[in-house]
Amino acid sequence: MDIAALVKEAAHFAERTRRAKQSLGNVGFEWYPYDTLSALGHLEKLLTGANRGLLDGRGRVLDMGSQDGELAFFLESLGYQAVAVDHPAYNHNGMRGVRALKAALGSAVEIHELDVDRPFALPHDTYDLVFFLGILYHLRNPFYVLEELARRTTRCFLSTRVARCFPDGSAMPANVALAYLLGEEELNQDNSNYFIFSEPGLRVMLDRAHWKIRDYVGLGDTSRSDPVRADRDERAFCLLESRYDRLANLELLAGWHDSEETGWRWTEREFGVRVRGGMGRRVLTMKLYVAEESVRRLSAITLHATVNGVALQPAVYDTAGMESYVRELESESGELELHFSLDKALAPEGSDSRERGIIVASIHVA
């Protein structure tokens, strides 16, 4: 379903939640005063091409900073297994609203209390999609949270306040990655606000935290925005794709070790992948890293490969560093099974019990 149609569905769902709240009468607390479902209208402006049909209702979705949970409940209505996360200290009504609304709607959404500004563990290891809207500039440790999310999900919707000018009105240097650290009550007299990024700063931080921007739009004051004035507020909305595990687009066969902190993986001496796609002439590109230790102890390393049993030209690596293995393929099948073997590998030893061949950063067939 196109995002424009989902915005209309969300308007109907908002009426349903309004009636559910009304049916509860005097609940003894104040409901969150802002329309969290309005974020879908911003996503309609954000998403382009095939991404407009991204919200297909399949898989597990995480709503971080859920407030009263309307977004999580709507995503559940689309078919998602929805998980809502917030913390009573930061939630508008101590999370009483989300629990009351869950009961009124007869929902199965999971609700969890989590303080993401301290070391945390998400309630599930993996998610297909994360909503992370309006939270980033409230975090003392934005890198930690972004990296943790990159490890756990495939895609993420993120929004945050950004700025083009300093508070005195002078322009921030173009193409320089900046973050403005707010004084304790400098923005909205709210001491929970910390970093306002320039657009280049946001882009660099996302890249360093293992994210790729698939769609980006700036909304609000996109010419004079600054970190502190309410009338010069600009919001960046992003569709992000995690590249923490840069091999997530492939079916890994035998011979792989767990991802490193960078998202790269060591292989064993023999390893393989399975790729699905079109037929005919295609190009295999594998980005790999030859470790200094491998060159020092093994000298030259020869990489052999086969595709659906057909041998490709081998490659020899005798210096440490990043390399590219590029080969043309010809296939009559939409499924490619690639097997790689090295003539030498680092043997298991006391400091590392793994057999180590090469480090693979990415494999792409197009």
Domain ranges of the chain: 3-242, 251-365
- 345-362 residue pLDDT tens: 999 998 899 999 999 988
Q: Is 70 exceeded by the pLDDT of residue 249?
A: no
User: Among 77, 83, 54, which Cα is nearest to 157's?
Assistant: 54
Q: In this structure, which topology does domain 3-242 adopt according to CATH?
A: Rossmann fold (3.40.50)
Q: How big, in percent rounded to 5, are the helix, strand and coil portions of the chain?
A: 25, 35, 40
What single-letter DSSP state applies at residue 82? E
325-334 residue pLDDT tens: 999 988 777 7
- The pTM (predicted TM-score) of the whole model is 0.76
Residues 168-183 have pLDDT tens digits of: 999 999 999 999 999 9
Alpha carbon of residue 264 to chain centroid: 16
Per the structure block, which two tokens stand in for 187? 């923005």
Question: Alpha-carbon distance 220 to 158, whole Å?
Answer: 16
Report the mean per-residue pLDDT for the chain.
93
pLDDT over 80 at 215, yes or no:
yes
Residue 243 has pLDDT above 90, yes or no: no
Beta bridge partners of 195: 181
What's the CATH fold of domain 251-365? Jelly Rolls (2.60.120)
